[in-house]
Structure 1
Amino acid sequence: MRLAVFFSGGSTWRRGLTQVLGSMDNLPAHIASKLEDQLAQVIERIGAIRTLHKLYQEQIELRQDTFLFNTMYDSLWDSAIVRIGTMWDKARGVASLPNLAKQLRRMKNKAADAVAVEIEINSTAEWLRLKEWRDAIIAHARVPLDPVAFNRDYELSVLDVEKESQRIEFLLTKATDFLGQLPVYYPELRERADSSAQNSLDRWVRDAA
């Protein structure tokens, strides 16, 4: 079982994952490893979003901190949504779940086809809401757009991002199991993401006191 180098020493979890990409000869495995890297980034941002939300609820005196609750909080949301969109990108020549499914189908193997089918069924309610935010707000600026109606129709919570990340984790685990790769231990990544964000914000609060 693989665990990325996550917030330790001078290394980063991203370097820890990309170091195990291996040869380009096995393109499906290469794509899957790149996707694991992207998912680890989403997990990190979910931990930070959840921790900031908790801080906002508990520390009334910090609610006017525009850096924490405008710049940082909004940027974390944008980053998480963009990375999830990247993992569902259908463009050619990119590491994405649709392209992983195509590579699996080219293997002409019933088990590979079964994994590809699961990946191709990708229209959950959470993903459709996230995709709409990416397409209309983050990656593009749709006009005309009624912000009140948009928020009503596509309201997001951190639970949407968590559910989508867990679905991607499930699909990636299916693919890596078939490909014979050691899986990333995502529960440990989630725990470390939460604790790292909490430790950083605890220092922030102490310094602000």
Structure 2
Amino acid sequence: MGQGVIISKLGSYYDELTNKMTQLSNTNSWDVNLDTRIQVFGKIANVLQYAQISYVFDVNTFAQMMKDQGQPNNKILSIAENYYSLVGWSSFLNVFSAIESSIRAIAKELSMDWKSPYYKLYNNLFTNVLGGTANSNYIRAMELFNICRVSRNTIHNNGVHVNQTETFSFLGGNYTFTEGSVVSFINWDFFFSMIGEIIIVLDLLVNSSGVASFSQIKDLRA
């Protein structure tokens, strides 16, 4: 995926996320600055905006500076490529972390064991508020969160899946994380497919009766 396409998609999803914040604020009495049901979309939007700014990094200016320092072209190219890779992976991790913090805030308000291991936590939360394990919304949320969780763990291990081989269904496809192998499909295409689904699933979650009924669910950072 080219740099221009990435910048454009980051901007489009930023707009979609901020529009979602406005919609939720207009239809509820939730505090846009404190309530995690709105803030979760804002935190993700901020990550995408920072990534967009980072992608406007002027490679030509950087390259000239490095040349003036006597650095060879192959080193300059390698540094630029590593920079863009770092922008991508750090963006993925920050989005996943933003979601987890809001999931824990919601679970805390619901008097659940909000400090429990993440898989156990979101599984119990979705079971309680998305209609049970046979409900299509529960299944959709679990597919998304399972592959987000394993993708995050893989990035933490420098792109290598260190656990037993696992295959996950997501948006009609199957994704295999092979033990001890580099996971090559964690890229911007994959991430953008996640972002679209993240917006849908989080919207289902915050508007579910068991979550929407609270007058306020403070974000953990509030």
TM-score range, shorter chain: 0.3 to 0.5
- Structure holding more strand per residue: 2
TM-score (norm: length of structure 1): 0.43
- Structure holding more helix per residue: 1
More relative contact order, 1 or 2 (CA 8 Å, 6+ apart)? 1
